Structure 1
C-alpha cells in the first residue's frame, strides 16, 4: 500500500480494526460441465434431498474460481479449469445463514475419456450423472434449476447474469 510504513503499528491497528468490522461474505461456487451430447453433470449430495450442480463453499481467503476447481477434485476426482463466469448472485440472509455470493462458472465439455475417470471420492456425494437440461429441472431444487437455466443462457449469449435475491 503506497505511503503506508510497515513500521507504523498504530496505523496498522486502525486498518485491522476496520477490516474486522467489515462484512464477511459466504461464497458458494458451482460449475456447469457438459458431455458431448449437451447433457449437464449433476451430483446427488448425501446431505440434501435434491440433486445439485457440482461445487461447494469457498474456504477462507480462497478465490471463487480456485474453490470450484478444488471442490471438483475433492468430490469427483476431476481436475478442471473453471472458465468464464456465467452467473453471480447475491442471496440475502435466510434461516441460520448470513448472506452469500454464488458464483457459477463454465467448465466446458468433458471428453468420453474424462467422463470414464469420474468417481464419487467424497462421502458428501452418493452419485452423479449427466442429465438433459429438461431432466435437470425435475431433479434439481427449483431455485437451482432456475440458476442452471440462467447459466446455460449466459453461456449461449456470452453475457454474465447478475442478480440479487430476496427470500
Structure 2
C-alpha cells in the first residue's frame, strides 16, 4: 500500500489509504456461540436443521456486526432468549476447510438460565429442530470434532476464569 501524508488534517488522503486497504486486505468470516447452563449445571445444545450434528447456540455474524451482538441476536431469533453475556471464553482461528475460507469463532459465557427461562425454551424458527440441556460430559459425545474442541476449551476457560485462544481448536501456548 502507498504511504499517506502524516498530517492528520489530511482526511481525504487518510480515507483513501483506508479504502485501499479495505479493498485489498482479507476479510474474515465470524461465528459466535454461547455456553449456557441450567440450574443443574447441564449445558444447552441445539440441533440445527441446515447441517448435521449438534451445536452450541449461536451463529454467523452479519456484515459489520460485533460477535457479542451476533450471539445475542441469534439467541433471540432462534430460541426467544434474551440474555446478558458474562464474558468471553474462547477465540478460535479456524483454518480453511472444504469450500470455506478461514474464520474467527468466538464462544461467550451466557451464564445460568433461570428455571422460567429453561421452562419456556424451544426453537422459534426453522433453523433449529431441537434444543436440549445435557450433562457436560454427554455434550462431548454429541458434538462433532471441531465444535467439541471449542466446547472443551470453553469449559476449561470457564473453570480457570480466563479466556483461551485456539488455533483450529488447539490451545496455543
TM-score normalized by the length of structure 1? 0.91
Q: Which residue in the other structure is 2:4 paired with?
A: none
Q: Which residue in the other structure is 2:115 paired with?
A: 112
Q: Which residue in the other structure is 1:16 paired with?
A: 19
In the TM superposition, residue 116 of structure 1 has moved relative to its aligned partner by 1.7
Q: What per-residue deviation string (whole Å, max 9, x for no partner) do you get for residues 136-157 of structure 1? A: 1121112212221110110011
Q: What per-residue deviation string (whole Å, max 9, x for no partner) do you get for residues 24-75 of structure 1? A: 1000011000001110000000012211100000111111001010010011
Q: Which residue in the other structure is 2:153 paired with?
A: 150
Unaligned segments of structure 1, at least 5 residues: none
The 5 A counterparts of 1:2-151 are 3-6=8-11, 8=12, 10-151=13-154
Runs of 4+ in structure 1 deviating by more than 6 angstroms, as ranges, are none
Distance 2:14 2:149 in 1: 47
When structure 1 is superposed on structure 2, of 156-165 and 34-43 the one drifting more is 156-165
In the TM superposition, residue 14 of structure 1 has moved relative to its aligned partner by 3.2
Is the CA contact (8 Å cut-off) linking 2:92 and 2:150 kept in structure 1? Answer: no
Q: How many residues align?
A: 163
Is the CA contact (8 Å cut-off) linking 1:68 and 1:82 kept in structure 2? Answer: no
Q: What is the SS of the residue equivalent to 2:86?
A: coil
Is the CA contact (8 Å cut-off) linking 1:150 and 1:161 kept in structure 2? Answer: yes
Q: 1:77–1:4: structure 2 CA closer, same or farther, 3 Å change rule?
A: farther
Q: What per-residue deviation string (whole Å, max 9, x for no partner) do you get for residues 118-147 of structure 1? A: 121110101110000121112111221222
Calculate the aligned-residue CA RMSD, in Å: 1.6
Q: What is the SS of the residue equivalent to 2:85?
A: coil
Q: What is the SS of the residue equivalent to 1:149?
A: helix
TM-score normalized by the length of structure 2? 0.88
